[in-house]
Amino acid sequence: MKTVYDFTVKDRQGNDVSLSEYQDKVLLIVNTATGCGFTPHYDPLEAMYKEFKEKGLEILDFPCNQFANQAPGTEDEIHEFCTLKFGTEFPQFAKIDVNGENADPLFAWLASEKPFVGFGRGLKNAALKKFADMNNRTFGDKTYIGWNFTKFLVNREGNVIARFEPTVDMKDVRAAVAAELEKKA
């Protein structure tokens, strides 16, 4: 059975990074954008990272420009924005596609393990669904991710155990991460 450790990704400089380097860690893997309405998620993500890094959490940040061109900069510009505005210290990787023919295999696999089931209820979620559907129409059956700041929680064995759409309250994400960290490898 495939795990997250079977994947290799690119760091911001274009070097290969085997995710096996994160073996025995709890991972929160996120596709991000610097110009999105959900960009303030960087604050609770960084707070979680500072609080839980010593307990075995790693947050892996993958910028993506596929959602209304909300991450238009270079890897260096995106990294500078995140570190200066939000003080992020968790690993940030090369900008990728998460949908379509050029979707990064990691995100295609993550989404196959925990498929999209909707943004939730309420007017704001319905509005995001309408906007996301228009944006993602071109990806057809290769639409894996609904929008920026989709988060996947991976246990210490490398298995995807939860998916959080950007509309999920970050307190709920934090609670799930904390609960997973309490489990010992």
How many CB atoms sit inside 10 A of residue 90's CB? 19
Q: Quote the pLDDT of residue 65.
A: 95
Task: Note if the pTM is more than 0.85.
Answer: yes
Q: How many CA atoms lie within 13 A of 45 on its CB side?
A: 31
Total residues found in the chain within this entry: 185
pLDDT (tens digit, 9 = 90+) per residue, 107-134?
999 999 999 888 888 877 787 788 788 8
Q: Domains along the chain?
A: 4-182 (3.40.30.10)
Cite the active site residues. Answer: 36
Strand partners, 164: 151
Q: Cα–Cα distance between 185 and 134 in angstroms, integer?
A: 42
Q: Cα–Cα distance between 169 and 54 in angstroms, integer?
A: 24
**Please, what is the Cα angle at 56 between 94 and 146, to 5 degrees?**
45
180: enclosing H helix or E strand: helix 170-182
What secondary structure letter does DSSP report for 149? T
Q: How does residue 135 score in pLDDT terms, banded at 50, 70 and 90?
A: confident
Of residues 136, 65, 69, the one with CA closest to residue 104: 65
